[in-house]
Structure 1
Amino acid sequence: MKAVSHIPDIFYAQLKNYLKCTNMELGMLINFGTPSLIYKRIINLK
C-alpha cells in the first residue's frame, strides 16, 4: 500500500520484482494519497 499523490513507475517495477521473487501470481498497488482510492492489479506472467 502506498500513500502518494501519484504512483511512479518504480513502484510497478518493485511490485513485479516482488511477485517474481515470491512466485506469486497477483499483486496490488493501493494508493490512499488521493481524494478517491486508486488501485492497480499487477499480474505476474511466468
Structure 2
Amino acid sequence: MTFEARKKKKINLKNIVEKLQKKGINVRICKRPNFKYMGNQNA
C-alpha cells in the first residue's frame, strides 16, 4: 500500500471513530503491525 493510501485510510478511520464516539459508543483501536482493528471485542 502506498503512503498516500495509508494516510487516507487513517483519516477515514479517525472519522469513523469520531462518528461512533458522538453516538456514545466506546471504540478501542488495537494497532498491530499491518492490521488495524476496530471494535469492543478482545483483540
Relative to the length of structure 2, the TM-score reads 0.41
Structure of greater relative contact order (alpha carbons < 8 Å, 6+ residues apart):
1
